[in-house]
Amino acid sequence: MTATLPARPSGHLLRERGFRGLYLSAAVSQFGSQLTLVGLPLLAVSALGAGAGEVGLLSALATLTALVVGLPAGAWVDRAGRRGVMIAADLGRAAVLGSVPLAWWAGGLSMAQLYAVAVLTGVGRLFFEVAAQSVLPDVVGRDRLTAANSMLVGTSAAMDVSGNGLAGVVVQVAGAPVAIVIDTLTYLWSAWWLRAVPSPAPSRGRTGMGRQIADGVRFVRGSRVLVVIMIQGAMVNLGIPLVTALLPVLMVGEMHLPAWTLGAYLSASGLGVLAGSASAHLLSRWLGQGRATWLVGVWTAPAALALPFIAPGPGLWVSAAAYFAVTFRIGVNNVTLTSFRQQVTPDALLGRVNATMRMVLTGAVGLGGLLAALVGELYGVRAALWCGAVVLALSWVPIAFSSTLRR
């Protein structure tokens, strides 16, 4: 497979009703999710006196959900209408989140309810994102996937940055319940825009769900391109938590830096992904889609090895600049490798392939967090940073062994 260039200018994408609906739906949904990401744990702390373990479990439940229901979600997306799945996911999340401020105002909020909300909203997000990635080729055509993914990934990164910032302001000024109410409204708004999205006819064969799941896993395992993409993504998702999970301990606890420096340092990731995703389409046209992927990986590999040299003074900002370079590469890869995955996968298998990949990549994030805790406890925080830096520096290597992705 060689890289294909858009047959029509990418600037025309937002003029098309179907893509415009998908784009606006994804953008407003992502923005609202950041409000709950901040508001839900703060509500647990402020209203219920939750401790570190309870808040940690609350944050982990969405990840655990993806691991448990990821494969069935892919099969279900392929069996059902993808637009209908996205609308149902939005409406379901709106209903679940709407119960939180109602329970708080009635004085009946509990941690059990918040745990249930975390699980159900995690399920909704999983179904929505798998369906959105699966319906995109039908919305824009396979020849414009790189341009469309560049817009979607870039906007998602921008929503992460702006949503986190606004979430803090909303929670500070109006309280966590209000932030969750706003998120509820964003899901309703997202569902409204999805009416414009075309949806292919679902696959309604007689094959059982277990067989369909196995077909998706078998397709991924049998595709050299998808295996390489999966290994590369797993390495990145393993390395990032190793580098970032213990930064609060290092920067605030050991280096005694003010908390705002940690926030400023981490903001480099959102800006890096935003810049990389915005550049991905142009780099793909200039270098070729596959060549852009691995060359950017090679160029930014030295930056990953600068991450552990974080120290007060200039070392802090050198490390932050290196983190920007690493996440720039992640932004490029999120666009190019997602486009590759969508291009090589048959329409009938898109949901199952996307869900299989997501399960592996989510599992790598969880493993990275566990390894960070283990290495940090046994050998120190900087040892964990060095482990993550080496993994990130080498994450381009699987692509170098793929003749398809090097072209």
Q: What is the pLDDT of residue 5?
A: 36
Write out pLDDT tens, residues 75-99: 777 777 778 888 888 899 999 999 9
Whether 207-407 and 12-195 are alike in CATH topology: the answer is yes
Distance of alpha carbon 394 from alpha carbon 407, whole angstroms = 19
Burial class (CB in 10 A: 0-12, 13-18, 19+), 179: buried
Residue 386 near residue 262 (C-beta atoms within 8 A): no
Question: 3-class DSSP state for residue 76?
Answer: helix
Distance of alpha carbon 306 from alpha carbon 79, whole angstroms = 47
Q: Is 333 left (phi over 0), alpha (psi -120 to 50) or beta?
A: alpha
Class of the CATH-defined domain 12-195:
mainly alpha
Q: What is the pLDDT of residue 406?
A: 58
Question: 3-class DSSP state for residue 197?
Answer: coil
Q: Which residue has the tokens 């590999």?
A: 301
CA 63, 69, 75, 76 torsion-angle sign:
negative
Q: Which residue has the tokens 């003029």?
A: 15
Contacts of 299 (CB under 8 A, 6+ apart): 329
Of 355, 328, 350, whose CA–CA distance to 339 is shortest? 350
Domain definitions of the chain by residue range: 12-195, 207-407
Q: What is the pLDDT of residue 1?
A: 36
The average confidence (pLDDT) of the chain is 78
Asked whether residue 162 carries a pLDDT value surpassing 70, the answer given is no
Give the type of residue at 198.
P
Asked whether residue 3 carries a pLDDT value surpassing 50, the answer given is no
Q: What is the pLDDT of residue 227?
A: 87
Q: What is the pLDDT of residue 167?
A: 64
Write out pLDDT tens, residues 334-377: 888 888 787 778 877 777 787 788 878 877 877 887 787 788 87
Write out pLDDT tens, residues 280-299: 878 877 877 777 777 888 88
Distance of alpha carbon 107 from alpha carbon 171, whole angstroms = 19
Contacts of 95 (CB under 8 A, 6+ apart): none
Residue 1 near residue 341 (C-beta atoms within 8 A): no
Residue 96 near residue 119 (C-beta atoms within 8 A): no
DSSP class per residue in 211-266: HHHHHHHHHHHH-HHHHHHHHHHHHHHHHHHHHHTTHIIIIIIIS---HHHHHHHH
pLDDT tier at 386, thresholds 50, 70, 90: very high
Q: What is the pLDDT of residue 7?
A: 42
Q: What is the pLDDT of residue 168?
A: 62
pLDDT tier at 47, thresholds 50, 70, 90: confident
Class of the CATH-defined domain 207-407:
mainly alpha
The pTM of this model reads 0.72
Write out pLDDT tens, residues 170-224: 766 777 788 788 888 888 988 888 887 876 666 555 566 677 777 777 887 887 8
Contacts of 42 (CB under 8 A, 6+ apart): 171, 176
Asked whether residue 390 carries a pLDDT value surpassing 90, the answer given is yes
Most confident of 73-82, 139-148, 234-243, 353-362: 234-243
* Average pLDDT of span 51-65: 69
Contacts of 18 (CB under 8 A, 6+ apart): 139, 140, 196, 197, 198
Of 155, 156, 149, 395, whose CA–CA distance to 289 is shortest? 149
User: What is the phi/psi pair of residue 384, to 5°?
Assistant: -65, -40
Distance of alpha carbon 396 from alpha carbon 398, whole angstroms = 6
For 361-379, what is the HEC assignment? HHHHHHHHHHHHHHHHHHH
